[in-house]
Chains A and B, each alone.
Chain A
Amino acid sequence: MCWNRIYALIMKYVYICSRNTFRAMDIFFWPIMDLLMWGFVTMYMLKVSNTVPGLITFLIGAVIMWNVFYRAQQVVCISFLEDLWSRNLLNIFTAPVQVREFVTAAYILGLMQASIVLVIMSLVAVVFYGFNILDLGIYAGMLLANLMLMGWALGLVATALIVRWGPQAEVLAWAVPFLVQPVSAVFYPISVLPQPLQVVASMVPAAHVFEGMRALMTGNEAIVWGHIGSAFLLNLLYLAGAGLLFRFLFEQAREKGLLAKYCS
């Protein structure tokens, strides 16, 4: 791996974002909108009934963490799509860039964007709702790291599908998180899901993360490590799977001559 090349790929995307208001909105605007919207929903719910203790922390915590996952996943795809849209992919793939370096750059961009979003949302949450994510302590880092890993894995899966099926699949960049959201137990516990979906949810790292977060908030720290461990093991599995899928579909695209077709 050559870090100079990875740095160059990151620099390119940072340039692109700094010139594109709509990309910058992904970082600075939409996450805050999300937070405000869910903040109002919670405030309304608290007004009509106050039966769920700590509802505000549940929901605000969930929105912030969900965004970390969502933005990390999205950037992995979009950094690829930007090259596809601008017909630059052939310049990249005819340069001495290894696929590994390309993916690593996308992962680092995901980490960067998710971190910025996390900081911004956390600050807004402190100011508007008195919610401080740091109160979750060391666990917060573990939970967030797991969301990050899942964002990478799903981002790579979506990118692989775009590599293979081209621009017609680009909507996956935005849609994939919502495919897993119902079984990610973001805003409700796994237990509310029908039995078969509970089984599915138990295989989704994010579901463990959000269960862990709620356990933590209700003082049930004993089970948090279990969730963190499960999420981590599942993530390792999915990251490896995503890597294999990407390699497989990338090679298929090369065989079918699609790389050159979609990208020019």
Chain B
Amino acid sequence: MLETILKVESLNKQFGNFTAVEDLSFSVRGGEIVGLLGANGAGKTTTIHMLLGLTKPTAGAVTIFGENLEESRVSILQRVNFASSYVHLPYNLRVVENLKVFAKIYGVAKPGEKIDELLEMFEIAHLKFKTSGMLSSGEQTRLNLCKALLNDPALLVLDEPTASLDPDLADKVRKILKRVKEEKGMTVLTTSHNMLDVVELCDRIIFMHLGAIVAEGSSEEIMTRFGTDSLEDVFIRIARTKEKVIA
């Protein structure tokens, strides 16, 4: 079994009286692609933001690469990256300028080559000198992914990464992520509302409901447990349950 890259222990987040995340524990091993699923408001983004040090947990601990996140945030984040459909790069910078800035921040060795390689990979090389704010949302999504792979992250965290991609590009992006994972041994934690993404991409799924984990396993295992052959059915059943425990 591969080493544990990410370990979450009894993570809890209270916003005032509201519990957004409750007693969350899970771990992710090197080279795994894990999907964090759940209805709107289940606590996925809150969890991800705690894993990235953006939001401070009320209780619990996050360990990445064997180091405590609160103590070693900078050295951990050097080997992590993040992309999401709700985060953008400065709109009046050209695509290449934005990538140069982040290549410098991450200390990428040969930034020019790396940037070209990534732009080719995500099929946006022709947009290299275009103003980032002028890109379509699907193009912007791919630019975000280029940024997210600049430092060859050992752990890639994605929050709804394929939200605005057409089915063709979503398929291509999944294949790219799988390929990078194979080639570089990258570990991925991703949220998604796209069940096809999840089935095709994820080795393992963690279902969250009302801030807690209610199911965990491969998509097949979870579908078998719920007696259905559609992950969407599982999703809907969980989402419509009022209790925190799924029967």
7 nearest interchain CB pairs? Answer: A8-B104, A19-B92, A96-B77, A94-B82, A96-B78, A87-B88, A254-B56
- Of B54, B56, B81, the contact of A93 (CB 8 Å cutoff): B54
Report the minimum CB–CB distance from A257 to chain B (whole Å).
4
A251 touches B56 (CB 8 A): yes
Using a CB–CB distance below 8 Å, which chain A residues touch chain B? 2, 4-5, 7-9, 11-12, 15-16, 19-20, 82-83, 86-88, 90-98, 251, 254-257, 259-260, 263-264
Report the minimum CB–CB distance from A214 to chain B (whole Å).
42
Q: Which of B44-52, B120-128, B163-171 contacts A (4 or more CB under 8 A)?
A: B44-52
B54 touches A259 (CB 8 A): yes
Report the minimum CB–CB distance from A117 to chain B (whole Å).
22
A15-B77 Cα distance, complex, nearest whole Å: 25
Cβ of B114 within 8 Å of any chain A Cβ, yes or no, is no
B77 touches A90 (CB 8 A): no
- 8 Å CB interface, B25-57 against A: 45-46, 49, 52-56
Report the minimum CB–CB distance from B140 to chain A (whole Å).
10
A88 touches B77 (CB 8 A): no
Which residues of A are found within 8 Å of B106, using beta-carbon distances?
Answer: 95-96
| Interface bits B92-124 vs A (CB < 8 Å: 1, else 0) | 110001001110111100000000000000000
Report the minimum CB–CB distance from B220 to chain A (whole Å).
32
Closest to A19 in B: B92
A86 touches B52 (CB 8 A): no
Report the minimum CB–CB distance from B54 to chain A (whole Å).
5
A15-B102 Cα distance, complex, nearest whole Å: 13
Which residues of A are found within 8 Å of B76, using beta-carbon distances?
Answer: 96
A93-B74 Cα distance, complex, nearest whole Å: 10
Q: Given known contacts A19-B93, A86-B90, A264-B84, is B54 in contact with A94 (CB within 8 Å)?
A: yes
Closest to B144 in A: A91
Cβ of B239 within 8 Å of any chain A Cβ, yes or no, is no
Which residues of A are found within 8 Å of B13, using beta-carbon distances?
Answer: 257
Q: Given known contacts A88-B88, A90-B87, A96-B106, is B74 in contact with A257 (CB within 8 Å)?
A: no
Beyond contacts A96-B77, A96-B78, A251-B56: 7 other A-B pairs, Cβ-Cβ < 8 A, are A4-B104, A5-B104, A15-B101, A87-B88, A88-B89, A94-B81, A264-B86
Which residues of A are found within 8 Å of B149, using beta-carbon distances?
Answer: none
A259-B55 Cα distance, complex, nearest whole Å: 7
A257-B93 Cα distance, complex, nearest whole Å: 28
Which residues of B are found within 8 Å of A96, using beta-carbon distances?
Answer: 73-78, 105-106
A260 touches B93 (CB 8 A): no
Cβ of B91 within 8 Å of any chain A Cβ, yes or no, is yes
Which residues of A are found within 8 Å of B54, using beta-carbon distances?
Answer: 90, 93-94, 254, 257, 259-260
- Of B88, B93, B105, the contact of A15 (CB 8 Å cutoff): B93
Closest to B77 in A: A96
A257 touches B49 (CB 8 A): yes
- Of A9, A12, A92, the contact of B93 (CB 8 Å cutoff): A12
Which residues of A are found within 8 Å of B209, using beta-carbon distances?
Answer: none
A257 touches B104 (CB 8 A): no
B88 touches A86 (CB 8 A): yes
A96-B82 Cα distance, complex, nearest whole Å: 12
B90 touches A90 (CB 8 A): no
- Of B20, B92, B101, the contact of A8 (CB 8 Å cutoff): B101
Report the minimum CB–CB distance from B55 to chain A (whole Å).
4
B80 touches A88 (CB 8 A): no
Which residues of B are found within 8 Å of A7, using beta-carbon distances?
Answer: 104
Which residues of B are found within 8 Å of A5, using beta-carbon distances?
Answer: 104-105, 107
A83 touches B75 (CB 8 A): no
A87 touches B81 (CB 8 A): no
B77 touches A95 (CB 8 A): yes
